[in-house]
Amino acid sequence: MSISKTALILAILTLVTVPTTLAADDGTTTVRPIVPDEGWQLRFYTVQVEGNSFEPFSYTETNGSGLGVSGAYRFSRRMEIELSALAAGQDRRHHPYPWQGNYYGDDPRDGGSLSLLAGLNFHVTPRHAIDFYLGPVAGMVAYDDPFERDSVVADFGIGLNMGIDVPFGKARRWSFNASVKGIGVLSDVDFGQVEDFSYVTLGAGYRF
């Protein structure tokens, strides 16, 4: 499933469940959760990566998978700070632009990336059956240079994160988590090389 389709599904799920709240035993429609809003949440997940690199004479497609973990501190009902680390192996395929003919040829290469990110999440639907959040994200992205073998590039990237938590269990400490993160990196390597990475994550979370 593509990144854009996954993001669309997350948005539709949120719109459908905005009116839905956690039900209380006495029939009321809104209640405070068993676990307080404020506090830490650990999220751990698998990562699917898509990316592209662009420079004046060629471009590179990236696909891969890996693992990630994040710690989020929720300091109010709607706001949290999230620190994330995502590592993925990547299959890169280097292509010339059509007007370059076959000078370079398709050049498959294995590589990897490590992203250390910090984000500020706004929870749109707190205390709902599906807790949707979104916000800006920024940090360091290190990746194998797609145009030079055995070379690693580390740059600053900024982007957008959106995701959902679906609490479950008697105490509602555990949750299913899914997110989409888009990161853009402008590198000064190879005449202004531009990298963009999209991450789809699926996993679980635990609040404590």
The pairing of strands 58-74 and 79-96 is antiparallel
Burial of 192 (0-12, 13-18, 19+ CB in 10 A): exposed
Q: What is the pLDDT of residue 64?
A: 85
Lowest mean pLDDT, pick from 82-96, 117-131, 156-170, 194-208: 82-96
Query: Is the pLDDT at 45 greater than 50, yes or no?
Result: yes
Q: What is the pLDDT of residue 193?
A: 60
Measured CA angle at 165 (ends 172, 182), to 5 deg: 160
Q: Please report which helix (H) or strand (E) contains residue 13, including its range.
A: helix 3-17
How far does CA 109 lie from the centroid of its chain? 24
Which tens digit of pLDDT belongs to each residue from 46-63? 999 887 766 655 566 778
Measured CA angle at 108 (ends 107, 109), to 5 deg: 115
Q: What is the largest CA-CA distance in the chain?
A: 72
Instruction: Give the DSSP per-residue string, 101-142.
Output: TTSS--EEEEEEEEEEEEEEEEESSTTBSSEEEEEEEEEEEE
Quick one: pLDDT band at residue 19, thresholds 50, 70, 90? very low
List, in order of start, the domains of the chain with CATH numbers: 3-207 (2.40.160.20)
Q: What is the pLDDT of residue 27?
A: 47
Q: What is the pLDDT of residue 143?
A: 76
Lowest mean pLDDT, pick from 86-95, 114-123, 146-155, 176-185: 146-155
Contact 162, 122 (CB under 8 A): no
Q: What SS3 class is residue 14?
A: helix
C-alpha span between 119 and 7 (Å, rounded): 18
Residues whose CB is less than 8 angstroms from the CB of residue 204 and which lie 6 or more positions away in sequence, other chains included: 43, 44, 45, 174, 175, 176, 177
Which tens digit of pLDDT belongs to each residue from 94-119? 666 555 555 444 555 667 788 999 99
Q: Which two tokens stand for residue 28?
A: 């009321």
Q: What is the pLDDT of residue 86?
A: 94
CA-based R_g, the chain, Å:
20
Q: What is the pLDDT of residue 22?
A: 47
Tell me the mean pLDDT in the region 59-69: 83
Which tens digit of pLDDT belongs to each residue from 79-94? 999 999 999 887 766 6
